[in-house]
Amino acid sequence: MSDWMIELDDITKRYGELVANDHVTLRIRRGELMTLLGPSGCGKTTALRCITGQNIPDAGRVLIDGKDVTDVPTHRRELGMVFQNFALFPHMTVFGNVEFPLMIRGTGKAQRAEMVMEVLKLIRLEVYARHYPRQLSGGQQQRVGLARALVYRPKVLLLDEPLSNLDAKLREEMRFEIRDLQRRLGITAVYVTHDQEEALALSDRVAVMNKGRVQQVGTPAEIYAQPATKFVADFIGLSDFIPARVAALEGRHVVLAINAERISVPAVQGLQAGQDVLLFIRPNDVQIRPAAERRENCLLGTIAKSTYLGDKFDYRVAIDGMEVRVQTHGTDRFEIGQQVAIHLPCERCSIILESGVCPAT
Ligand SMILES: Nc1ncnc2c1ncn2[C@@H]1O[C@H](COP(=O)(O)OP(=O)(O)O)[C@@H](O)[C@H]1O
Ligand SMILES: [Mg+2]
């Protein structure tokens, strides 16, 4: 048995001149929830449709459960799909909607009834079996969508922005519901979203996409703490990027030159002295203190802006023509124009090579 439930092997998909998926390689483990995350138009739906068979890639292969399905039609791939617009039949009851895929598959009547009620129970909608979609809230409608996708026990569940049509609060609740259901069933799932918070909250692993390419694949913690590219760092959260030059390689550390200062950061492979890089750090990992209290791994600057955000302060610190953003929960307050030292804790810093795109795993 293959470890991988789904494999996209060097997929390229074009629409005319446009390359919607550009050498996409992605492996999804059995029982894993993998999210495709990226801005609108980056090729997430295109990749999902290559998995379903609604798209035939121009190059590359698709494997499901170890079998090459590149030329297998959608209805023979054993997949369950959930869509953004719910796509329920308005003239059919909840029961009828969930029963529909079983009818198509020729399942017998008694067994259909049993399977439908079992899945409706699973999502706690059994009392709504005789209701019509218009009588349900958006969240309930999407749970019917989930039930319909799961009723014939597919190998894989595919969800394309399933929560985008719900309001913010419901979206957050439904996240947990989907995650919980996916875990209980142990089903492999591919979840498409442009919402980074949703991706971090839901996923075992996330594939961050941009312009048809996979930029990085990793756990939510990995892509948040060690983004491989500037795009990933920027897309996932607030970021500071400080242009720097490699001054010295010291085993497990690299010393970066930022103007006249020296900042020590964890080493990465393949760096050379003199090379230009970006120092990356999250604004809430930067510490700020009066200039007189500077010590190692500090840069000197001046408070340029200060914004009160309720639970924290957001400062912009001007440092030799650039601005570094700092968010603090501390009780110390700093005034505009004040000279400060910002401390960049070594283990919170990482190096981003501008061209560095890590290979997909
Ligand atoms: N059927 C199509 N015909 C032509 N262009 C398409 C088609 N589907 C998608 N595209 C284009 O391919 C790119 C990727 O689209 P898509 O995969 O839908 O992105 P996402 O789901 O990440 O928003 C976009 O530029 C989009 O306009
Ligand atoms: Mg899409």
- Please report the pLDDT score of residue 43 as a whole number: 98
- Please report the pLDDT score of residue 85 as a whole number: 83
Closest CA to 212 of 228, 186, 231: 231
4-230 homologous superfamily: P-loop containing nucleotide triphosphate hydrolases (3.40.50.300)
Q: Identify the burial level of 124 via C-beta atoms within 10 angstroms of its C-beta, where 0-12 means exposed, 13-18 middle and 19 or more buried.
A: exposed
Place of tokens 């009818």: 103
Round to whole Å and give the CA distance between 280 and 241: 5
Round to whole Å and give the CA distance between 360 and 357: 9
Round to whole Å and give the CA distance between 74 and 104: 14
If one residue of 19, 37, 45 were mutated to test the ligand 1 pocket, choosing by the most ligand atoms within 8 A of its CB, it would be 45
In the chain, domain spans = 4-230, 238-352
Q: Is residue 68 over pLDDT 60?
A: yes
pTM of the model: 0.90
**Interval 311-327: pLDDT, tens:** 899 999 999 989 999 99
**Interval 4-42: pLDDT, tens:** 999 999 999 999 999 999 999 999 999 999 999 999 999
Give distance in angstroms: CA of 34 to centre of ligand 1: 20
**Interval 243-260: pLDDT, tens:** 999 999 998 999 999 989
The protein residue with its alpha carbon nearest to ligand 1, atom 12, reads 20
Q: Is residue 358 over pLDDT 60?
A: no
- Please report the pLDDT score of residue 1 as a whole number: 76
CA distances from 3 to 31, 33, 74 (A): 10, 14, 22
Coil vs helix vs strand at 250: strand
238-352 homologous superfamily: Nucleic acid-binding proteins (2.40.50.140)
